[in-house]
Amino acid sequence: MHIPDAFIPIPQAAVYWIIALIFIALSLRWARNEMRDEKVPLVAVLAAGIFAIQAINIPIPWGTSGHMMGAALAAIVLGSPFAAVFVLTLVLIVQGVLFGDGGITVMGANILNMGVIGGFVGYYSYRGICMGIKNPYPAAFIAGWLSLFVAALITAVEMAIAGTFPLEIGLVTMGLYHAVIGVIEGGITAVALYLIFTARPDLLSETKGVSS
């Protein structure tokens, strides 16, 4: 879902950068207030794992592929949507600057879509679903799916504002592809969460403790 430079006019890209910078500042404030020293190695390993898994494009039908985004996972494990903003911003900067994956002028839009939208939709849908069903793994699957699907629809709206895609065909096409890619997102989010909570049951009780 990495938007390249050519897809958004620079003035609009600047607006997305401003919105992204506000959320980056809020994520740094979250780190100052909520991220304890002993959490830092976990944050770093999660960021590295998300970078690596984003490099695996899994084929889906219609000559298309998709990869994990990881925002829902980061937000759920670390207990805040701002954690996803923090992690995804770092991943997107390294991808864009070193590997040309995602544009530079449009990096704010990519941080907004994948870090902010992905993180907030993933985190709050997980919390909400956990109130209904007590098992965290189906909740994580649905939250992962939704985080990617909603981020894709928002991207389609941005493409429409940019004049790049007509709104309706953009929403339908992005929705179609990402409804399938979302299954990858949801599946890996649930499996990764299971591995992490098995190794660190205290993190599970922390995320539950907040919600009750």
Partner 1 sequence: MEGKNYLIFGVILALVIAVAAPFLASGNPDGLESAFFGIFGAKEIQGEELDEHAAGQAEEEVQGITGNTFSFESPFPDYTLEGLAKSGEALAIVLGTLIVLGVAFGLGRLFSRSE
- Binders of partner 1 in range 152-191 (CB under 8 A): 152, 155-156, 162-166, 169-170, 173-174, 176-178, 181
- Which residue, 200 or 208, is less far from partner 1 as judged by CB? 200
* φ, ψ dihedrals at 65, nearest 5°: -140, 170
Minimum separation from the CB atom of position 132 to partner 1 (A): 29
Minimum separation from the CB atom of position 131 to partner 1 (A): 28
Which of the ranges 17-25, 27-35, 122-130, 138-146 carries the binding residues for partner 1, by CB under 8 A?
27-35
Q: Per-residue string for binding with partner 1, 107-146, x by CB under 8 A?
A: ----------------------------------------
Torsion of CA 115, 68, 175, 23, to 10 degrees: 0
Q: What is the CA radius of gyration of the chain?
A: 16
CB atoms under 10 Å from CB of 169, counted, come to: 11
- Which residue, 81 or 170, is less far from partner 1 as judged by CB? 170
CB 118 within 8 A of CB 88: yes
Among 22, 57, 135, 209, interactor with partner 1 by CB under 8 A: 57
Query: Hey, CA dihedral for 15, 16, 21, 22, is it positive or negative?
Result: positive
The count of residues interacting with partner 1 (CB under 8 A) is 79
Q: Which two tokens stand for residue 24?
A: 């980056």
Counting contacts by CB under 8 A, is residue 206 touching partner 1?
A: no
Calculate the alpha carbon distances from 185 to 41, 81, 122 in Å: 23, 17, 11
- Which residue, 51 or 129, is less far from partner 1 as judged by CB? 51
Q: Per-residue string for binding with partner 1, 58-97, x by CB under 8 A?
A: xx-xxxxxxx-------------------x--xx--xxxx
Minimum separation from the CB atom of position 12 to partner 1 (A): 8
**Buried-state track 194-203, b at ≥16 Cβ within 10 A, e below 16:** eebbeeeeeb
